[in-house]
């Protein structure tokens, strides 16, 4: 028993560190809108975020966890060594993005890290990756962008009400809108729990299943147990590292009004919950959020100004590079691990 525990210690600690970093990144996608609209003080954000992530993981996180633990790489191949390589790669990619102040796609990085290890082992589940997961990565951000652009460009400008464009200097006149934005932010945090906690919990669940040879523990499935262990560390990561990425997403792309902050939160959370509960697909919440913010920026400042924005350029670059880096690094480390001694 002691030997098993010591074997599992490194991947378990890596999963916890990954959860901390994902908490930092996920905070920005949940509360960037509210923070950008100056509605919440930053001291409350980690507390609210942590509570809702735990609830989301408990209620809606199992399907995505199973996809990551079984759908890309056969669960029996999640050995301590390979699981550690996968989690290490994801953590390094995400930690670097957090230091840069860029909310990174933990789901894409996780999927491609697992895929890199699976490809090196010759065990990649191609159908799940290319016909179920990757198409959703394109479809959902396009939907988020399109809905936000249509609403902000052609629908709400024709509705004559000050609540659409009013800022928080006049928030006392729109208390209902203030409450709606807070609820929408909590809704996004719940969606983070339903989708993103599985990035750490999925590989750990398969690893624990292999090492202990059991599917249940005191009535709890291993997947649910792993989700509940990892979820609180999202709140801890939000407290430690979340402010910088929240500021980048909420303050440096577009000035956002309370109404549009609520709109983007609802669109993002709804699409993510669909991916989590209906499809069981790990999906990039930060890209959904970024797509909405870019659509708003384009309707306010134009296409040229939006894509010349330094923050937008940095976001797009990191979003493309980090998942590819995760795949290549995991692939290389797995090949090295299989070299004869």
- What is the predicted pLDDT for the residue at 155? 79
pLDDT attached to residue 253: 47
- Relative to beta strand 216-217, strand 220-221 is antiparallel
Among candidates 295, 284, 271, 333, which has minimal Cα distance to 155?
295
Place of tokens 């102040």: 101
Alpha carbons 120 and 23: distance in angstroms, whole number: 29
CA distance 221 to 334: 29
Judge whether 340 lies within some domain: no
Confirm whether 40 is domain-assigned. Answer: yes
Q: Where are the alpha helices (DSSP H) in 122-197?
A: 126-128, 134-150, 175-195
Q: What is the total count of domains within the chain? A: 1
CA dist 130 and 142 (Å) reads: 18
Give how far Cα 137 sits from Cα of 77, 129, 141, 172, 297, Å: 26, 11, 7, 39, 22
Domain membership of residue 42 (yes or no) is yes
Structure tokens at 154: 């052609």
- Tell me the pTM: 0.85
Q: Radius of gyration of the chain from Cα atoms? A: 20
Tokens of 236: 């801890």
**Residue 224, pLDDT score:** 79
CA 316 – CA 307 distance, rounded (Å) = 10
Domain span at residue 165 reads: 2-332
Task: Write down the pLDDT at residue 150.
Answer: 92
Q: What is the mean pLDDT of each run of 10 residues along the chain (341 residues)?
A: 67 88 74 68 82 90 87 88 92 76 77 94 91 93 94 74 53 69 89 89 85 57 80 80 54 61 86 92 84 86 78 74 89 90 59
At 217 the pLDDT is 47
Residue 337 lies in a domain: no
341 part of a folded domain:
no
Q: Give the span between the Cα atoms of 290 and 307, in whole angstroms.
A: 12
């Amino acid at each position: 028993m002691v030997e098993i525990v010591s074997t599992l210690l490194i991947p378990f600690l890596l999963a916890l560190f990954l959860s901390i970093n994902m908490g930092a990144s996920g905070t920005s996608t949940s509360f960037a809108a509210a923070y950008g609209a100056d509605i919440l003080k930053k001291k409350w954000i980690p507390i609210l975020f942590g509570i809702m992530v735990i609830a989301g993981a408990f209620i809606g996180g199992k399907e995505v966890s199973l996809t990551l633990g079984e759908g890309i790489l056969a669960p029996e191949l999640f050995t301590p060594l390979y699981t550690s390589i996968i989690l290490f790669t994801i953590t390094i990619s995400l930690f670097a993005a957090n230091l840069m102040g860029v909310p990174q796609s933990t789901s894409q990085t996780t999927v491609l890290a697992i895929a890199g290890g699976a490809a090196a082992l010759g065990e990649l589940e191609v159908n799940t990756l290319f016909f179920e997961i990757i198409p959703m990565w394109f479809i959902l951000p396009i939907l988020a962008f399109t809905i936000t652009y249509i609403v902000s460009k052609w629908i709400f400008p024709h509705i004559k009400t000050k609540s659409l464009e009013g800022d928080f200097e006049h928030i006392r006149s729109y208390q209902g809108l203030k409450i709606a934005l807070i609820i929408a932010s909590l809704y996004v945090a719940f969606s983070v729990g339903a989708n993103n906690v599985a990035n750490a919990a999925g590989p750990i669940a398969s690893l624990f299943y292999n090492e202990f040879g059991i599917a249940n523990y005191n009535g709890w499935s291993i997947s649910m147990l792993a989700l509940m262990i990892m979820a609180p560390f999202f709140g801890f990561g939000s407290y430690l590292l979340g402010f910088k990425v929240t500021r980048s997403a909420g303050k440096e792309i577009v000035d956002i009004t309370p109404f549009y902050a609520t709109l983007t939160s609802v669109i993002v959370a709804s699409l993510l919950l669909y991916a989590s509960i209906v499809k069981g697909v790990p999906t990039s919440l930060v890209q959904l959020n970024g797509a909405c913010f870019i659509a708003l920026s384009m309707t306010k400042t134009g296409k040229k100004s939006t894509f010349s924005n330094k923050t937008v350029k940095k976001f797009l670059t990191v979003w493309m590079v980090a998942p590819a880096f995760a795949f290549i690094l995991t692939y290389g480390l797995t090949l090295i691990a299989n070299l004869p001694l």
